[in-house]
Chain A
Amino acid sequence: NAGVTQTPKFQVLKTGQSMTLQCAQDMNHEYMSWYRQDPGMGLRLIHYSVGAGITDQGEVPNGYNVSRSTTEDFPLRLLSAAPSQTSVYFCASRMSDYNEQFFGPGTRLTVL
């Protein structure tokens, strides 16, 4: 199993550009989540999904969109990038509330 994979690993954007961070998992996990990690602020939940076709907002959803058309994929879209979105983004998946959450390797995003 590849586990949780994320692409790209690094990305530089200009303010106002849009892009999609890709996330995929091959463990047949129902739950998938996106977090951003910023110094001194830990991991903050952006959006999450409990199954294909179901998504919900986390702690910091503004400026981001998600969709879950398949169990495997959970892309995160930045609609109009802002410098405040400079961060490291982690995708994660788990089978349910009672299971370990597995993290991807992260995407380091810089918005100029």
Chain B
Amino acid sequence: AQSVSQHNHHVILSEAASLELGCNYSYGGTVNLFWYVQYPGQHLQLLLKYFSGDPLVKGIKGFEAEFIKSKFSFNLRKPSVQWSDTAEYFCAVNAGTDKLIFGTGTRLQVFP
């Protein structure tokens, strides 16, 4: 069965620091990969997605993610975080089934 692991449960950064959130999945075939964000009190919104092609994907609000097939990873990055990036971030995988499976999420707190 497919699964998604997010090893960083809680990340605390100061504004302007760089961010990298890890995401690993378990499935050997073709995958569709997503990062969603949930701002406090809101529902989930799509940050970026990867289906095929260039493994470096750019999303909204300056976020990007790199798909490394050999490592089964899809890490999220941002060069310089802002206070407004405080949110919970979820990695999700669709791996040859109709199901979209989410990781446990990473809570990011950014302090001014």
Contact = CB atoms under 8 A, between A and B. Distances in A.
A90 B104 contact: no
A4 B34 CA distance: 19
A44 B92 CA distance: 11
A59 B49 contact: no
A44 B102 contact: yes
B43 A105 contact: yes
24 contacts: A33-B100, A41-B104, A42-B6, A42-B90, A42-B103, A43-B44, A43-B90, A44-B102, A45-B99, A45-B101, A48-B99, A56-B98, A90-B43, A90-B44, A92-B44, A92-B100, A97-B94, A97-B100, A98-B51, A100-B49, A101-B100, A103-B43, A103-B45, A104-B43
Report the contact-size class of chain B (Cβ under 8 Å from the partner): 20 to 34
Interface string A36-65: 000011111100101000001011000000
A33 B99 CA distance: 9
Interface of B: 6, 9, 32, 34, 43-46, 49, 51, 90, 92, 94, 98-105
B102 A43 contact: yes
A42 B98 contact: no
B44 A45 contact: no
Contacts of A74: none
Contacts of A92: 44, 100
A9 to B, nearest CB: 11
A68 to B, nearest CB: 13
A36 to B, nearest CB: 11
B98 A40 contact: no
Nearest to A6: B43
Given A98-B32, A100-B46, 10 more contacts: A42-B105, A45-B101, A59-B101, A94-B100, A97-B32, A97-B100, A100-B34, A100-B49, A103-B45, A106-B43
